[in-house]
Amino acid sequence: MVKLTGYKKVKTAVFISGTGSNLKSLIKFSKTRKSPISVNLIISNNPKAKGLRLENVNKIKKKVFSFEKNYKIEDKILTFLEENEIQMICLAGFMKILSRNFINKFKGKILNIHPSLLPKYKGLNTHQRAINDNEKFSGCTVHFVNSKLDSGKIILQKKVKITENETKNSLARKVLVQEHKLYPKAILKVFNL
């Protein structure tokens, strides 16, 4: 578990690739008194990520790192995180896989949210795969990140019922509503709050 020192909030970077609705909910949460984290940095691999243009990200430092053909990119990110005194990372719809070396530098301090009830449906296209398998439930999971994809220790999960005629889009919408509640709850749990 991450330890809180003093009364200062833990400086956190949120990594995104797309819409950023989880980022939005994390920022909202971070501004509440009970939040142990502050969102100090937003990192994206995608310059077109909508999340970079959300209304409530205005005052937060943002940086895009292009992963394509850039094998030293993680070193650059690590340096940038260090310069900004980042202590914790929340992956929120970040669609790149981080190396073992990167993860070890932030051991136990990287969280991820995944749109399935892990260990089921790791990877991509989770909603369609759950529907195809006639699952009765799907959901979302917040977990610690380790070097194996979507396999780190589970912090919290929330179940969502799959109804008749469910589509991957309708399921994604339902799960996302729960994701926005689950991520803050999981952060409180990580800090024993």
Q: Applying CB under 6 A, does 176 fall inside the site for ligand GAR?
A: yes
114 catalytic per annotation:
yes
With vertex at residue 171, the alpha carbon angle to CA 43 and CA 18, rounded to the nearest 5 degrees, is: 15
Instruction: Restricting to residues 55-94, name those near ligand GAR by CB under 6 A.
Output: 92-93
Answer for which of 12, 14, 15, 22 binds ligand GAR (CB under 6 A) is: 22
Q: Applying CB under 6 A, does 178 fall inside the site for ligand GAR?
A: no
Q: Give the pair of three-digit tokens for residue 152.
A: 């780190």
Q: Give the pair of three-digit tokens for residue 89.
A: 């990372």
Answer for which of 10, 13, 15, 20 binds ligand GAR (CB under 6 A) is: 20
What gap in Å lies between CA 23 and CA 18, rounded to an integer? 10
Q: Tell me the residue nearest to ligand GAR as measured from the CB.
A: 93
Look up residue 166 and give its DSSP letter.
-
CB of 4 or CB of 63, closer to ligand GAR = 63
Q: How far is CA 132 from the centre of its chain?
A: 26
- For residue 144, give the H/E element and its range: strand 137-144
Handedness of CA 146, 192, 92, 128 (dihedral sign): positive
Minimum CB–partner distance for residue 56 and ligand GAR (Å): 13
Minimum CB–partner distance for residue 176 and ligand GAR (Å): 5
Q: Applying CB under 6 A, does 111 fall inside the site for ligand GAR?
A: no
What gap in Å lies between CA 6 and CA 10, rounded to an integer? 10
Q: Applying CB under 6 A, does 114 fall inside the site for ligand GAR?
A: yes
Contacting residues toward ligand GAR, per CB under 6 A: 16, 18-22, 51, 92-93, 113-115, 176, 179
